[in-house]
A = this chain, B = another copy of it.
Amino acid sequence: MSSRRKFLEKLTGSAVALAVLPKVVSAGGRGNDSRTLRVAIMGLGSYGTRVADAMQSCTRAKLVGAISGTPSKLVDWQRKYGIAAKNCYNYSNFDAVRDNPDIDAVYVITPNALHHDQVIRVARAGKHVICEKPMATDAKLAQEMVDACDKADVKLLVGYRMHFEPKTLEIIRMRKAGDFGKIKFFQGLAGFQIGDPSQWRLNRQLAGGGAMMDIGIYAVNGARYMVGEEPVWVTAQETKTDPVKFKEGVDETIQFQFGFPGGAVASCLSTYSMNNLDRFFLDAENGWAELFPATGYGPIRGRTFKGELSQPHITHQTVQMDEMAAILFDGKQPIVPVDGREAVKDMKIIDAIFEAVRTGKKISLHL
């Protein structure tokens, strides 16, 4: 942690100070003059609304537009968030965002299977894209999205909100500083009891899978940033207790294991049938770290062999969007990458997990 950051924390002891922080510490040193990231959200569902609410506290990002197939939602958002009617689009006409100088980026928060085409359309419209995780339903599609953004010369970021979470970052800082010594083991448990069986998350066509795509990805991604290496093999086992709710191709519970080049291993769990199972544990030569809850929206709790972590809670989506402004406009390098290439790796791992489930074999990874 920088001494300035430490100073600010001491000064105020409040989460607000940290939410304000990104613009203060962002690369380029533009301070308060830094350009504001003007965002349109595509997909006005529950998570889209959560992001919109969180953005009201942003200092460098601003919600200025909305894209939805439901006209009444667009009217609601105009009123609720003060969005101009001219910045609202539907799924037929949003390519016209190209001609809208008031929108810098579109945050795609639609069902997983729609991301691919929508992200590519936004890229072709010349706007930066923020895509909610999972970026796509497989690695091939994800790579096409990266390529399309490269070709269109726009940036592609993925909504990995934990990459900006202070307790998570503190553990990563400790790992990089060598506090833990050699990393030996990571355990990532990620799941919740899913409700309404008719939701798109349980529809293979829209979700591209089940719990793994939605929540298991936190353990996949977490394994990588907690261990600090890319896994070289994966094994996986699926368990289905409710084949009515979890149809063919919609995974309910998958246990998966990784091996890493340095000899560390990981044991992970992805599930839609356990209550708020949200725990990370890192074991190493000289100590350990735990996050529990590890990835929920509320305050993360963390402890290490040195004691309880005390970094204050920040609404994850608020800091994510402010930091993304610094990444897009100032070229700031986040501590853990959030670009499309980073997300392709997660998709490659998820592809391999599904293959391991199908074949019962250990699958080699080359990331």
CB contacts (< 8 Å) of A286 on chain B: these are: 275
**CB <8 Å contact, B360 and A362:** yes
Q: How far is the CB of A43 from chain B (nearest CB, A)?
A: 31
**CB <8 Å contact, A362 and B237:** yes
Interface string of A243-259 (1 = CB under 8 A from B): 00000000001010101
**CB <8 Å contact, B237 and A273:** no
**CB <8 Å contact, A277 and B235:** no
CA–CA, A42 to B133, complex, Å?
Answer: 60
CA–CA, A251 to B287, complex, Å?
Answer: 23
Q: Which of A1-47 touch B at CB < 8 Å?
A: none
**CB <8 Å contact, A273 and B184:** yes
CB contacts (< 8 Å) of A354 on chain B: these are: none
Q: How far is the CB of A311 from chain B (nearest CB, A)?
A: 22
A178 CB within 8 Å of chain B: no
**CB <8 Å contact, A255 and B253:** no
One of A155-163, A263-271, A339-347 contacting the partner: A263-271
CA–CA, A281 to B267, complex, Å?
Answer: 13
CA–CA, A249 to B343, complex, Å?
Answer: 39
Count of chain A residues near B, Cβ 8 A: 32
**CB <8 Å contact, A269 and B269:** no
CB contacts (< 8 Å) of A187 on chain B: these are: 187, 189, 267, 269
Q: Which of B185, B269, B287 is in CB contact (< 8 Å) with A185?
A: B269
**CB <8 Å contact, A259 and B239:** yes
CB contacts (< 8 Å) of A184 on chain B: these are: 271, 273-275, 277
**CB <8 Å contact, B277 and A285:** no
CB contacts (< 8 Å) of A257 on chain B: these are: 237, 255, 257, 267
* SS class, residues of chain A in contact with chain B: strand
Q: Which of B259, B267, B274, B275 is in CB contact (< 8 Å) with A267?
A: B267
Q: How far is the CB of A361 from chain B (nearest CB, A)?
A: 6
CA–CA, A183 to B277, complex, Å?
Answer: 13
Interface string of A277-294 (1 = CB under 8 A from B): 101010111110000000
Question: In the complex, what residue of chain B is closest to A184 when comparing beta carbons?
Answer: B274
A241 CB within 8 Å of chain B: yes
CA–CA, A281 to B361, complex, Å?
Answer: 27
CB contacts (< 8 Å) of A185 on chain B: these are: 189, 269, 271, 274, 277
Q: Which residue, of A268, A279, A286, has the highest number of chain B Cβ atoms within 10 A? A: A279
CA–CA, A263 to B272, complex, Å?
Answer: 13
CB contacts (< 8 Å) of A360 on chain B: these are: 360-362
CB contacts (< 8 Å) of A265 on chain B: these are: 237, 239, 253, 255, 269
Q: Which of A163-214 touch B at CB < 8 Å?
A: 184-185, 187, 189
CA–CA, A158 to B265, complex, Å?
Answer: 31
Q: Which residue, of A235, A259, A274, A277, has the highest number of chain B Cβ atoms within 10 A? A: A274
CB contacts (< 8 Å) of A284 on chain B: these are: 275
Closest CB pairs A-B (n = 5): A241-B263, A267-B267, A184-B274, A255-B257, A239-B265
- Can you identify 8 A-B contacts, CB atoms within 8 angstroms? A185-B189, A185-B271, A239-B263, A253-B265, A263-B273, A265-B269, A275-B284, A279-B281
